[in-house]
Structure 1
Amino acid sequence: MARVLGRYVGTWSIWRSDTGRWYATRLTRALTRDQLDANLSMTVHADDAEALDELLTEQERLASAAPA
């Protein structure tokens, strides 16, 4: 958990729900239509911290290639 939190400080708000699922929401303004079309998400969720880390890594990769 600490590793995941540390990697995304300032870019994602990360928390664990009462049901045990992990969530992350971008700390940026709303995404543009082009960014959404490029499969960027404002909020992602996963069953565990490792899976969430994988989703966030993919989101960061997509963001680097997506239009601003």
Structure 2
Amino acid sequence: MRLPTEDAVWEGMRRRHAEAWSIWRSDGGRWYATRLTGALTQAELDAGLVMTACGGDADELGAILAEQERFTGQALSARSGRP
């Protein structure tokens, strides 16, 4: 059974990442996020970006998404030739 606090955390994460990720929880309690921005290039995948992220809880998934956002910024800078 989901607790109201879990629903509030999910809603907050969903709003925070609405432009880039679809976030959900599995029946088993794991947290997932899938990119909404389309397919990644092979170079982006090689750089460590993922299409779908999974965490054991909201904090773990949040940390993964923050890391992915840093990687995304680096990949876009490399693609455009900016440092």
TM range (shorter): over 0.9
TM superposition shift of 1:5: 1.6
1:62 aligns with 2:71: yes
**Which of 34, 41, 63 does residue 32 from structure 1 map onto?**
41
Q: Give the total of aligned pairs.
A: 68
**Superposition RMSD on alpha carbons, in Å?**
1.1
TM-score (norm 1): 0.92
1:46 aligns with 2:73: no
- Rounded to whole Å, the distance in 1 between the matches of 2:28 and 2:57 is 11
Return the index of the structure with the highest Cα Rg. 2
Partner of 2:21: 12
Unaligned runs of 5+ in 1: none
Looking at secondary structure, tell me which structure has more helix per residue.
2
Greater RCO structure (CA 8 Å; 6+ sep): 1
TM superposition shift of 1:29: 1.2
TM-score (norm 2): 0.77
Which 4+ residue blocks in structure 1 deviate beyond 6 angstroms? none
TM superposition shift of 1:3: 2.6
